[in-house]
Amino acid sequence: MAQKSFKVAVVGATGAVGNLMVKVLEERSFPVRELTLLASVRSLGKSLPFKGSEHPVYELGEDSFKGIDVALFSAGGSVSKKFAPLAAQAGCVVIDNSSAFRMDPRVPLIVPEVNPDAVSPHPNIIANPNCSTIQMVVALKPIYDAVGIKRIVVTTFQAVSGTGKRAIEELRGQVSDLMHGNEVRREVYPHQIAFNCFPHIGAFLENGYTEEEMKMVYETQKIFNDPGIAVCATTVRVPVYYGHSESVNIETGAPISVDRVRSLLENAPGVRVVDDPAQKHYPVPLAAAGQDDTLVGRIRQDPSVENGLVMWVVADNIRKGAATNAVQIAELLIERNLL
């Protein structure tokens, strides 16, 4: 029997994540019958390659979703808020990379390795979690299943690609400005990002945390379906192009040895253990960039608390943290006959 194939749209196709969504659809041989690329009016006249031919970029509009089976959105929260409900009404299943619907109780928030069963029922919108949350829960899932997790304290070191293509250009431009002795130009970030870092991702909230930090709290609780997990996050922007790194301290519900954790992680889907410090083997963003595994290393006991563990978790934020996870959700829908 011929394999079923689908009419797929990518919204924000000219952006850092959208562009990669197109590549990942091709890499993973997603069964695309027809591909529609959508972006703003600024992108009219552009085209992107897919399976050996150039595909034009169209302007996103209210009628863009007629006859489309599945749309991957990565054009920011305001575009999602306006257009995802229109697409859903037109019968298209939206997989949305923005934060617009993540905390809506009707909308599943899915990491296929972690909570695939939560994918249905859905209101024709499924949310892709925040990049820093995805890689953390992929690494924690086997430990959570084995002994439970009571508390997580995480500090992130996040790449500029998470902010989008303008931020990638800003870091590149600032490095060049500094090399040439020019004044540093700054438009996207609140501080110079070249040779600097700052604990400020998203707006500051009344409780003193940033939006990004609170995403890690609420999304982790939703994905594990466990509002009791305590999470405290500090999120930091660093001058790295691709790949978020995270120092993750956890308190487990019962004792577990480092060897057992290592063996659980070695067998976990989507995880690669890179943990031989004597050989200088531990995860780094340059090794994570361009591939889909979540790399975990520096696994050790945290002797400062009962049942404490620490690890270092690195993944490509625009692949597993965004584009790949979105395509995997679409694959999960096919697997479960939901598309």
- Segment near ligand A2P (CB under 6 A), from 11-19, 90-98, 201-209, 210-218? 11-19
Cα dihedral 249/196/274/328 (nearest 10): 90
By CB under 6 A, name the one of 40, 47, 291, 301 that touches ligand A2P: 40
Smallest gap from residue 23 Cβ to ligand A2P (A): 14
Q: Which is nearer to ligand A2P, 33 or 166 (CB)?
A: 166
Question: Quick check: 14 binds ligand A2P (CB under 6 A)?
Answer: yes
Q: Which of 21, 79, 94, 217 binds ligand A2P (CB under 6 A)?
A: 79
Q: Are strands 70-73 and 271-273 parallel, antiparallel or unpaired?
A: unpaired
**CB nearer to ligand A2P: pick between 60 and 264:** 60
Choice among 55, 92, 122, 244 that is catalytic: 244
Is 244 catalytic? The answer is yes
Binding of ligand A2P by 15 (CB under 6 A): yes
Residue of 18, 108, 142, 321 that binds ligand A2P (CB under 6 A): 18
- Per CB under 6 A, which region of 90-98, 162-170, 245-253, 273-281 contacts ligand A2P? 162-170
Q: Which of 4, 42, 172, 336 binds ligand A2P (CB under 6 A)?
A: 42
Residues identified as active-site: 131, 244
Footprint of ligand A2P on this chain (CB under 6 A)? Answer: 12-16, 18, 39-40, 42-43, 60, 75-76, 79, 164-166
